[in-house]
Structure formats: structure tokens, C-alpha cells
Amino acid sequence: MYVPERIVDNHYYESFIETNDEWIVSRTGIKTRRFAAPDQFTSDLCVRAVQDLAAHYEGTIDDVDMILVATVSPDQPMPSMACVLQYKLGLKKAGALDIYAACAGFVYGITLAKGLIAAGTHRKILVLGAETLTRVTDYTDRTSCMLFGDGAGAVLIEADPVGNVGHCITGASGDGGIDLYISGLADTIDGQPISKTGKIVQNGRKVFKWAVNTVSANMPTLAAANGLTLDQIDWFVPHSANMRILEAISNETGFPLSKTLESIADYGNTSSASIPLALCVAVREGRVKAGDKIMLFGFGGGLAYSGAVVTWG
């Protein structure tokens, strides 16, 4: 993983919007987040995350044959972040593909990597979730501007006779696209006019309700597809959008919040990076151990969702 050096606490926002630390913590659970430096972009965060991975890995990454990068805040629309990363790391054997599924993107990457390896076309795949969301944040929107931070997380998935990436699910509610978007070329979404600022626009209440209902409904289904009950899941790692969402999911499903890994308190909402950040921290703190059953679940812009159960190696 990698997060920028600059730590921004909640008091930062008090000078330009009507808010305070107590209000932000009580409604989001966020205490700090990281801001990229002016000359630091998503591809730079990706490079640092992979370098960190390589430092903890006993093998070599020189034979990686595919790079999948989930992001909605690329350095530019083209070339892809995966192509930039392939070049910067000198991974000459690797294909490159970006995944534009917002907060669900990282788990979509896990799903795609599993499929490519199962198909026999690839054997060693880097999957990243990386964002510089502070570059696409509307700092006049007091309901959301304090949510977002920057960071990157990476995992390596390799072919193995005994697979530890189990059944995955994917889905979408495309009718909710108007509720969470970043504007681009078109002036409308589904015929509805949008704000053409190039910044994140979010209907927090509608996304909150959709996230809680969607994740709560699919968690038991995903566990069952892997031959498990929720009681047999050791760790739940959802997208860290808002601590209140995670609490609501826990209340709805009965899954203990104490077994839910999050990155929201220290790093804010980092979209596609939030799940690998939470997982990496827990692994290095010794909480996640070999053999643990881990349910990953991303949800967000699209509106899209994805889930997977993995057995930690």
C-alpha cells in the first residue's frame, strides 16, 4: 500500500465551510485523510504501492503478465494507469487494463484476475485500487468534500493448483447513475441534466440507502455461494465509504462490527483503494492470519457492486 505523506485532519475544513471536527466524526467516522502532493498523481501512488508489495514478496514481479488498475481519478483518460504503471515498473511481459467501476473496482479486479487465470491465459496478475480523489473533489459541497482522500493498494494473484479466491458476485443498479457521478463529455445522465464541473457529485442519502440494502442483501448470498454462513466469515472488508454505512450494514445483517475491517477513520473515503488499504493494515498488524475466510465487498458509482470470498494464504 501507499498513502501520501500529507495528513489532513478535520480542522482543515473549518476555514472554508461551516463544519467542525465533532460534526464530521459523528456523521462519517473520519478523523484524518491523506492529500497527494501537487506533483503527485494516481500513477505515482500505484508505483509506490507496487514497490511496497515487492518489498514484502519473496519472489519477483518481473514475470507479471497482466496489470489491472481500478480508478476513477486517472492522471488522464488516456493512456490508462495500467499502461503507465507497466512502463514505469518495466514490466515488459504485462498486459494492461483499467477498471472504471468506482468503489466496486478493486473487487471487480479480483474477479477479472481469477477469470483470466482460470482461463489459462495469464498466470500472475497485479490488481490495484488507486485514487487521487482530492483532485476531483468539490470543496464548496459541505456535505461531501470532507469525505475524500488519496491512496493506493495492490495485491498479487498467481496461478496455483489450490485456488484461494472463491465464488465472486457482480451487479449494478444503473438507474442510480445520476446519484453519484463525475461529469465528462455528455451534459445529461439518462436525460437528466448534470453538473459539468468535473468534480464528484453525490446524493448522499440515496447512495447510503442503496449501499446498506444492497450489501446487506448480498452478504448471505455470497457466503452461501462459497459454502459458508456469515458466522464462518472471519473478516468482512467492505468499501470504506462512511462509518455510519458500515454500522448500518452490521445492524441489518448481525455481522459484528468488530470483525469488519475499515480504512475510513485514518484515510477517509479512497474509493477503489479503500478495501486494499484496510486489508493491508490488518495483515501487517497481525489481525488477518493464514486460513482466514475474508469477504470483500465493493459498492459505489455506477451504481455498481462486487463481492468475493478469499482464503488468506
Write down the residue that cell numbers 485456488 correspond to. Answer: 163
- Domain span holding position 273: 165-311
299, 174: one domain? yes
By annotation, the residues acting in catalysis are: 103, 239, 269
10, 142: one domain? yes
User: Is residue 284 pLDDT above 90, yes or no?
Assistant: yes
DSSP code string of 178-221: GGEEE--S-SEETTEE---SSSEEE-HHHHHHHHHHHHHHHHHH
Q: What is the mean pLDDT of residues 19-36?
A: 97
User: How many CA atoms lie less than 13 Å away from 261 in the CB half-sphere?
Assistant: 26
Residue 305 lies in a domain: yes
Convert 135-159 to b/e letters by CB count within 10 Å (16 or more is b). bbbbeebeebbbbbbbbbbbbbbee
pTM of the model: 0.97
| Residue 311, SS3 per DSSP | strand
Among 114, 133, 158, residue at a domain's last position: 158
In tens, the pLDDT along 46-94 reads 999 999 999 999 999 999 999 999 999 999 999 999 999 999 999 999 9
178, 272: one domain? yes
Q: What is the mean pLDDT of residues 167-180?
A: 97
Residue 1 lies in a domain: no
103, 178: one domain? no
- What's 237's domain CATH number? 3.40.47.10
CB 240 within 8 A of CB 261: no
User: Which has the closest alpha carbon to 135: 41, 48, 12, 271?
Assistant: 41
119, 49: one domain? yes
Domain tally for the chain? 2
116, 187: one domain? no
Q: How far is C-alpha 115 from the chain's CA centre?
A: 20
Q: Is the peptide bond before 79 cis (omega within 30 degrees of 0)?
A: yes
Residue 280 lies in a domain: yes
215, 146: one domain? no
What is the Rg, in whole angstroms, of the alpha carbon atoms belonging to the chain?
A: 18
130, 198: one domain? no
User: Which has the closest alpha carbon to 197: 145, 149, 272?
Assistant: 145
183, 203: one domain? yes
User: Which has the closest alpha carbon to 143: 17, 22, 252?
Assistant: 17
Res 10: pLDDT: 97
125, 232: one domain? no
User: Is residue 313 pLDDT above 90, yes or no?
Assistant: no
Convert 108-125 to b/e letters by CB count within 10 Å (16 or more is b). bbbbbbbebbeeeebebb
Q: How far is C-alpha 274 from the chain's CA centre?
A: 4
> With bands split at pLDDT 50, 70 and 90, how would you rate the model's confidence at 242?
very high
In tens, the pLDDT along 179-213 reads 999 999 999 999 999 999 999 999 999 999 999 99
